[in-house]
Structure 1
Amino acid sequence: MENNARASGRLGPRDAATTPPLSRSRAAILERLRDQPQALTLAALVTATGLHENTVREHVDGLVRRGLVRQHRAEPSGRGRPAWLYEAVGTGSGPSEYAGLAAALAASLARTPAPVELATDAGEEWGRQLATDRGAAATTPEAARTQVVSLLDDLGFSPEVAPAQPTDVRLTRCPLLEAAHRHPDVVCAVHLGIVRGALSAHGAPTEGTTLLPFAEPGACRLVVPPLAAEAS
């Protein structure tokens, strides 16, 4: 009987190829963690995915058990127990100096009298510089929007644009998701400023350009209204 059991493959560890595949939701959470330059809290994952907190906790616990995600405590900050942080294993997705610096700057701006205005101004200057470094020049409004979407893609936002409605852009990734979750007004204002600054570098108007943070499960929504030449 023992020989029969061995022959049928019911003894010993399973072959790696027989490991059950991840569910779609669990795979999406793992991909989200792999895309981030910093570890995320459970709350940030809930905001990014639109799933219930208990559902996200169940998925990340399962990923931790399978060795795909590492769990560790955040640095103490104020009262209460520090939050758990989650990061994908073996993908270089742990906290980076850039992410840490951005989070610190966002926290500092949040304590100023006019954080949104300052963040937007900084983003616009940054966006103009980024577009200029890429060789920005006056062009058609449609081409300006295309160039800005390309810039957002290079920055890690993974934008999606429906051909039938080019004014609406879904930003399916955020390179600073944890900082955006903690200080959405500041971080999202910087990101909106980047778009406006890049548009202006291409000679396109920026009026009416808006960013709706966490507008839907898995995406923020950027609205770039019909530009002057298109409207005419």
Structure 2
Amino acid sequence: MENRQPSDAEWGPRSAARWPRRVSPARAAVLDLLKGQTEPLSQAALVEVSGLHANTVREHLDGLRRRGLVRRLRAESSGRGRPAWLYEATDNESTASEYGGLAAALAAAITHTSERPAEIAAAAGEEWGHELARDRGAVPAVPTTARRHVIGLLDELGFEPEAGGSPDQVRLTECPLLEAAHRYPEVVCAVHLGIVRGALEEYGADPTGARLVPFAEPGACRLVVPPIEEPGA
């Protein structure tokens, strides 16, 4: 049988189904509860229907809101005191489409107005990476776990990371902003690498050596994150 060479369109990752793609099974269960309701629920009501502790429900709701999967709105006032917050699931597919369009527009603006678009994009990505890691409760104390935490973050964001051909390589098999990355790779891919570097720093690790090779092979981009050791190890 003749060996078929991959076409240009096959190089690089697939488009992620949504942004962000993954949440934990526990948060997915809370999200499914909200999706099954005909009207928004208060946190107290969600505690009652889920059987979870109030602190656990609040943590899941905060995480789902950060990922754009749940919106919060005020209940109508019914007397003295501040009205309760109500929560409902969002239309994530619509949100993903709007997010991709916004990302492409911002990437175009940076490309056309800046003399150093990649540098600016990387700096923005690093700031975003710090924020995302803090949202996940990053503790900058154990550098040896930083790499694992950051790969977990990429999984949550929809990159579907897989082990690469060597211990320092990770294959990113999906991209939540694939269309924008094809049009403006210098900017979008720099943002993604910046996220990795910022998150590594937030977890207490030196990001030196981390690099991203966009559309490096059929089915994936290649992320290089050298194994991280404790100082003096």
Separation in 2, partners of 1:216, 1:225: 19
CA drift of 1:208 comes to 0.9
User: Which of 3, 14, 17 is residue 35 of structure 1 equivalent to?
Assistant: 17
**Equivalent residues in 2 for 1:156-171, closer than 5 Å:** 156-161=158-163, 165-171=166-172
Distance 1:96 1:200, change over 3 A: same
Separation in 1, partners of 2:209, 2:151: 17
Equivalent position of 2:152 in the other structure = 150
Separation in 1, partners of 2:163, 2:129: 20
Distance 1:136 1:34, change over 3 A: closer
Give unmatched runs, 5+ long, in structure 2: 1-5, 20-91
Which string of whole-angstrom CA distances, capped at 9 and with x for unpartnered residues, describes residues 80-123 of structure 1?
A: xxxxxxxxxxx948971111111100111111111011000000
**Equivalent residues in 2 for 1:1-232, closer than 5 Å:** 32=14, 35=17, 92=93, 96-111=97-112, 112-161=114-163, 165-229=166-230, 232=233
Q: Which amino acid aligns with 2:178?
A: L
Separation in 2, partners of 1:145, 1:33: 24
State whether residues 36 and 176 of structure 1, in contact with CA within 8 Å, keep that contact through their aligned partners in structure 2: no
Superposition TM-score, scaled by structure 2 size: 0.58
CA drift of 1:140 comes to 2.7
Which string of whole-angstrom CA distances, capped at 9 and with x for unpartnered residues, describes residues 31-90 of structure 1?
A: 9467266xxxxxxxxxxxxxxxxxxxxxxxxxxxxxxxxxxxxxxxxxxxxxxxxxxxxx
Distance 1:199 1:34, change over 3 A: closer
Aligned pair count reads: 150
State whether residues 159 and 172 of structure 1, in contact with CA within 8 Å, keep that contact through their aligned partners in structure 2: yes
State whether residues 180 and 188 of structure 1, in contact with CA within 8 Å, keep that contact through their aligned partners in structure 2: yes
Give unmatched runs, 5+ long, in structure 1: 1-24, 38-90
CA drift of 1:160 comes to 0.6
Distance 1:132 1:206, change over 3 A: same
State whether residues 118 and 187 of structure 2, in contact with CA within 8 Å, keep that contact through their aligned partners in structure 1: yes
Q: Which amino acid aligns with 1:118?
A: I
Report the RMSD for the aligned CA atoms in angstroms.
2.8
Equivalent position of 1:53 in the other structure = none
For the residue of structure 1 that corresponds to 2:230, the secondary structure is helix
Superposition TM-score, scaled by structure 1 size: 0.58
